[in-house]
Amino acid sequence: MSDKTQELPTKTTMFGADWCRDCVRSEALLNSLNIEWDKIDVEKDPAAADRAHAISGRLNIPVVQFTDGTFQVEPSDKELTAKLTELGEI
Better-scored residue on pLDDT, 3 or 74: 74
Q: 3-state DSSP call for residue 12?
A: strand
Is residue 29 one of the residues assigned to a domain?
yes
pLDDT at 1: 37
**CATH number of the domain that residue 66 is part of:** 3.40.30.10
The C-alpha atoms of residue 30 and residue 14 are separated, in whole angstroms, by 9
Is residue 50 one of the residues assigned to a domain?
yes
Domain that holds residue 74: 11-86
Is residue 24 one of the residues assigned to a domain?
yes
Q: What is the mean pLDDT of residues 12-30?
A: 98
Q: What is the mean pLDDT of residues 72-83?
A: 98
Q: What is the mean pLDDT of residues 67-90?
A: 97
Closest by CA to 9, choosing from 58, 50, 63, 61, is: 63
Number of compact structural domains in the chain: 1
